[in-house]
Amino acid sequence: MTKFISKTLIGTYFFLASTSSAIALDLGEPGIGGSTDLRQTIIKLVKEVLLFMALIAVVVIVIAGVRLVVSQGEQEQIEKSKKTIIYAIIGLIVILLATAIVKFVEMALGL
C-alpha cells in the first residue's frame, strides 16, 4: 500500500505540474481565448484538482474491490478492503461538497 501511495503522490505531482503549465499557457493574449483574470484561473485549477482527486478515489475503490474479491476469505483482508472502500466513498462525498462550494463561490463572484 505504501508503494501505491507514493505512486499516487508522484502522479499527483506530475498532474499538477502539467496543469499549471497548461494554465500558464492559457493566460496568453486575451484576444485569442486566453484568460487574464486570476480568479478564473484559480477556480479552473481547483476544479481540475478536484476532478483528479475524484478520479483517484474511484481508482482506490476499484482496487479495494479487487482486493476484496481476491482476499480468499481472509477476514483481515476483507475488513481492510471494506474500510478502504468506506473511506474512499467518504472522500468522494467531501470532494462533491468541495465542488459545490467552488461552484457557489464562482456564481457569487459572477464568473
What is residue 60's predicted lDDT score, i.e. its pLDDT? 94
Q: What is the largest CA-CA distance in the chain?
A: 62
pTM (2 d.p.): 0.63
* CA 84/CA 77 separation, integer angstroms: 10
Which residue's C-alpha cell is 501511495? 5
* CA 21/CA 104 separation, integer angstroms: 26
What is residue 27's predicted lDDT score, i.e. its pLDDT? 47
Split the chain (111 residues) into runs of 10 and give each run's mean pLDDT.
59 58 50 65 90 94 92 89 93 94 88 71
Contact 111, 43 (CB under 8 A): yes
What is residue 79's predicted lDDT score, i.e. its pLDDT? 93
Contact 52, 9 (CB under 8 A): no
Which of these, 12, 14, 42, 49, lies nearest to 27 by C-alpha position? Answer: 42
DSSP conformation class of 28:
S
